[in-house]
């Protein structure tokens, strides 16, 4: 529970009265009106921040408390409320950091005790009872894809060619074998399946299982770390496309209200009977940043993806008269996501990702006249989406998503656009 709000006097009595009566929306309106009138006092900032917490607008509240950290008189109260906002946003590591600072250095004995109590509660939840060793989620949805083959529009005989409805199922889970969530071993994995109503050759299935060790080896540098290994199998139209073995290295650090995550994931692929040209290596690096931003939770990321598959060896061995297609792209992806909580039950998110791909090796294609076209394949893909989640209960929700893809390539036959829309349900256990 946050310390009592220090209410302003005089002309702000209306806001103070509204807060006492539990009418937090009216209180916020009155406090913000006073701010617009030119009142820039620390006391008013604190009042607005605490009122925003009462309204569940934790990201906005944190912004006000951050401004008070440089004010000696308000620093401890502001940091305590930063911890409270982070805890209620389920950002437990950031909350623990602020509670620890308050419990160790606050001038007020009462505030140190409050922070210490919350820190102990978080630590107990972090250790968790046996029932918390496992967790997971499952979702089921149905939707429509207007270009399932991802073909150039001009190649479609009419608007309905390649359009199909689909159903999707996704399940993810993990089980902690030993230790705590920040320092121990865990098993985790997922399964995904998409089934088309008519185009069953495009049915996609993937399953993965992993073993990870979460540790604190880099804590002196301010980073938490994870190492592990995973296996994945992918099927297309009922036939196995690839088997994959990957190593996982990941480090996370909180910087102020932001969290930075760095990942390095080298992988080796083995193709199925008809996909031997996919054998080879994949190296992936990702940097991700996230933090509250006004009323939103913001995320940005960069991903580097390099592939060296058997097709490159085949390109060197085959004659120029044999058609060859490269499956070894180097990709750079840059994306951003904004999440917005309209209420405690309703969340909306939107995002955009730009991906640049350049394929190693020159493609060789023989046309109907026998002429050979040689070129290096390059592509630019933009993906945008809008998603919503409405919680019927804390565990059960209704989900919706709308996705638009625009892929431009230096050979027009590979240029296409498509949209997907889906509705579904999900459950957390």
- Which is more confidently placed, 123 or 38? 38
pLDDT 10s digits, 130-153: 446 889 999 999 999 999 988 775
115 and 238 in a single domain? The answer is no
pLDDT 10s digits, 341-397: 787 788 899 999 999 999 987 887 777 677 777 888 899 999 999 999 998 988 899
pLDDT 10s digits, 381-412: 999 999 999 989 888 999 999 999 999 998 88
375 and 350 in a single domain? The answer is yes
> Do the domain assignments include residue 145?
yes
33 and 143 in a single domain? The answer is no
Query: How many whole angstroms separate alpha carbon 125 and alpha carbon 133?
Result: 11
Query: How many whole angstroms separate alpha carbon 140 and alpha carbon 149?
Result: 23
CA dihedral 361, 270, 237, 418 (to 10 degrees): -40
291 and 404 in a single domain? The answer is yes
CATH of the domain at 332: 2.40.160.40
Q: How many helices (H) and strands (E) does the chain have?
A: 8, 16
End residue of a domain, out of 127, 152, 175: 127
Residue 125 — very low, low, confident or very high, per pLDDT cuts 50/70/90?
A: low
- Start-to-end Cα distance in the chain: 28
Identify the pLDDT of residue 129: 44
> Which of 231, 235, 255 is CA-nearest to residue 244?
231
> Do the domain assignments include residue 188?
yes
pLDDT 10s digits, 74-90: 888 988 998 888 888 77
End residue of a domain, out of 81, 111, 127: 127
Domain that holds residue 262: 134-428
Pair 53, 88: CB distance under 8 Å: yes
Q: Say if residue 44's pLDDT is above 60.
A: yes
Query: How many whole angstroms separate alpha carbon 387 and alpha carbon 37?
Result: 38
Residue 231 — very low, low, confident or very high, per pLDDT cuts 50/70/90?
A: very high
374 and 326 in a single domain? The answer is yes
- Show the DSSP H helices in 68-169 as ranges: 75-88, 92-105, 109-127
141 and 109 in a single domain? The answer is no
Question: What is the count of structural domains for the chain?
Answer: 2
Q: Say if residue 208's pLDDT is above 80.
A: yes
Tokens 């496992």 identify what position? 134
> Do the domain assignments include residue 4?
no
Model confidence, pTM? 0.73
Q: What's 82's DSSP letter? A: H
Q: Say if residue 190's pLDDT is above 70.
A: yes
Region for residue 370 given its phi and psi (left: phi exceeds 0; alpha: psi -120 to 50; beta: otherwise): left
271 and 419 in a single domain? The answer is yes
Token pair belonging to 369: 């006249």
Q: 359 to each of 30, 309, 327, 409, how far by Cα in Å?
A: 59, 11, 7, 11
107 and 144 in a single domain? The answer is no
Query: How many whole angstroms separate alpha carbon 158 and alpha carbon 168?
Result: 26
94 and 141 in a single domain? The answer is no
Q: What is the mean pLDDT of residues 163-192?
A: 92
Pair 171, 424: CB distance under 8 Å: no
């Amino acid at each position: 529970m946050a310390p009592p709000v220090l209410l302003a006097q005089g002309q702000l009595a209306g806001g103070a009265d509204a807060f006492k009566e539990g009418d937090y929306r009216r209180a916020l309106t009155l406090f913000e009106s006073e701010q617009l009138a030119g009142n820039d006092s620390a006391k008013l900032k604190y009042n607005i921040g605490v009122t925003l917490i009462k309204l569940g607008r934790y990201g906005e509240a944190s912004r006000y408390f951050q401004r008070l950290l440089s004010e000696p008189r308000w620093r401890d109260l502001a940091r305590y409320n930063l911890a409270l906002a982070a805890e209620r946003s389920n950002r437990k590591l950031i909350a623990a950091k602020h509670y620890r600072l308050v419990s160790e250095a606050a001038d007020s004995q009462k505030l140190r005790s409050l922070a210490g109590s919350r820190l102990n509660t978080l630590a107990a939840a972090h250790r968790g009872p046996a029932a918390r060793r496992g967790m997971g989620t499952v979702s089921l949805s149905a939707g429509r894809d207007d270009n399932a083959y991802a073909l150039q529009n001009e190649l479609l005989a009419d608007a309905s060619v390649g359009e199909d409805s689909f159903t999707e199922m996704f399940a993810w889970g993990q089980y902690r074998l030993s230790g705590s969530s920040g320092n121990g071993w865990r098993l985790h994995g997922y399964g995904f399946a998409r089934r088309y109503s008519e185009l069953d050759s495009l049915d996609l299935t993937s399953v993965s299982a992993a073993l990870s060790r979460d540790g604190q080896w880099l804590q002196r540098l301010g980073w938490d770390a994870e190492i592990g290994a995973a296996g994945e199998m992918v099927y297309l139209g009922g036939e196995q496309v690839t088997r994959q073995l990957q190593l996982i290295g990941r480090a996370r650090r909180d910087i102020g209200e932001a969290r930075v995550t760095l990942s390095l994931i080298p992988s080796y692929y083995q193709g199925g009977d008809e996909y031997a040209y996919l054998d080879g290596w994949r190296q992936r690096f990702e940097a991700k940043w996230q933090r509250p931003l006004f009323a939103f939770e913001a995320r940005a990321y960069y991903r580097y993806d390099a592939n060296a598959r058997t097709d490159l060896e085949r390109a060197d061995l085959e004659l120029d008269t044999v058609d060859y297609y490269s499956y070894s792209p180097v990709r750079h992806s840059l994306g951003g996501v904004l999440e917005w909580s309209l209420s405690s039950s309703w969340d909306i998110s939107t995002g955009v990702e730009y991906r640049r791909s350049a394929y190693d090796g020159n493609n060789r294609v023989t046309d109907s006249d026998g002429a050979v076209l040689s070129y290096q394949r390059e592509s630019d893909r933009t993906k945008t989406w809008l998603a919503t989640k409405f919680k019927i209960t804390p565990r059960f929700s209704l989900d919706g998503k709308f996705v638009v893809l625009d892929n431009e390539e230096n050979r027009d036959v590979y240029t296409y656009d498509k949209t997907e829309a889906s509705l579904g349900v999900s459950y957390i256990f």
